[in-house]
Amino acid sequence: MRHPDPVPVPAGPVSGPAGARVKHSLGDTHSMGNDDAAPNAEGGGRDTAAVAHLELSQRRFPEGQRRIFLAAIDAFSERGFHATTTRDIAARAGLSPAGLYVHFGSKEEVLYRISISSMRLTLQVATAAAADPGTAATHLTAVVRDLTVWHAEHAASVKVVLHHLTDLTPEHRSEVTDIQLAIHRLVRDLVAEGVADGDFEVTDTHATTLALMSLCVDTARWYSPDYRRTPDQIGADYATLALRMVGARPA
């Protein structure tokens, strides 16, 4: 099986509200149904149709694949990867036991496609947030805000990626972790830039970067749609907190 090339990123800023910069999310046929293509990065408002946490309602890839991804995320979340069978996924997707194999060669491939697409899109969000002209402080604000919103709005798929990374094959796990490291480097470079410019007061760039990433990513672990604050509000709060964490000078 041919695997995706290194993660492509947008050539320019991706428009739209924070957390909705990649409009079709995991539902884009380019991100999940085609190994050769990059995720679609159209701007626009949030998709409020069914299954909003994954924005899969656009149906821009085969219906069978869409149903399998949704079913797999639900099954992995409830039962775990090892306890879930391909028969479980197929049943939840309304397919025959053999129906899954029309689209995927194995249960692990389903997990891989979910994981690699989620991480590709996360990198797109971070890259787009840092693309506009500005200072390290403005870029860090945008990146933390948008990553926080993204992880809140896509908590179900993010948790599957985080919890089941070790269930991927070594090759697939390496592809996913390479993208995670790319996101880490982007944030680390912003922190280092702010320190070099005299705008941030940080004694340990690496530790600060880890703390900032945890702030964003861990939102997926606890956020639920019935929480009293919206993803946008949490993102704004965390962006302000991030500036305090790096000791940003007042503008």
pLDDT digits (tens, 9 = 90+) for 55-94: 443 434 577 788 899 999 999 999 999 999 999 999 999 9
Residue 224 lies in a domain: yes
Residue 9 lies in a domain: no
Specify the DSSP class assigned to residue 228.
Answer: S
- Separation in Å, CA 226 to CA 60, 127, 193, 222, 230: 29, 29, 38, 11, 9
Residue 50 lies in a domain: yes
Residue 1 lies in a domain: no
Query: Does the global pTM surpass 0.85?
Result: no
Give the domain range for residue 117: 25-245
Q: Which amino acid is at 107?
A: K
- Nearest to 84, CA basis, from 71, 65, 102: 71
Residue 250 lies in a domain: no
> What's the residue count for the chain?
251
pLDDT of residue 61: 56
For the domain that residue 145 is a member of, what is the CATH number? 1.10.357.10
Domain tally for the chain? 1
What average pLDDT score do residues 128-151 get?
95
Residue 108 lies in a domain: yes
Q: Which amino acid is at 242?
A: A
